[in-house]
Amino acid sequence: MMKLSTLNKLLFVLFFKCLASTFCLQANTYQQNQLIETQNLVKANGKYVTLLGTQVNIGEQAPNFKVVDKNFSPVQLTDFSGQTLLISVVPSLDTGVCSLQTKRFNEESAKLPKNITLLTISNDLPFAQKRFCKVENIEKIKVLSDSVWRDFGTKYGLIIKNMGLLTRAIFIIDEQGKVKYKELVANISQHPDYVKALTVIKDIAPVLVVQEEVTIKATSKENK
Residue 174: CB atoms within 10 Å: 16
Element (H, E) at 44: strand 37-44
Query: Catalytic residue positions?
Result: 98
- In angstroms, the CA 79 to CA 87 distance is 14
Q: Span 176-194, mean pLDDT?
A: 97
pTM > 0.85: no
Angle at 129 between CA 123 and CA 134, to 5 degrees: 165
The larger pLDDT score, comparing residue 15 to residue 111, is at 111
Residues 6+ apart with CB under 8 A from 129: 70, 93, 122, 143, 144, 145
Class of domain 36-204: alpha beta
pLDDT of 34 reads: 87
Three-state DSSP state, 133: helix
Q: What is the pLDDT of residues 155-174, one digit of tens each?
A: 999 999 999 999 999 999 99
Beta strands in 47-130 (DSSP E): 47-52, 66-68, 74-76, 84-89, 116-122
Q: Where are the domains of the chain?
A: 36-204
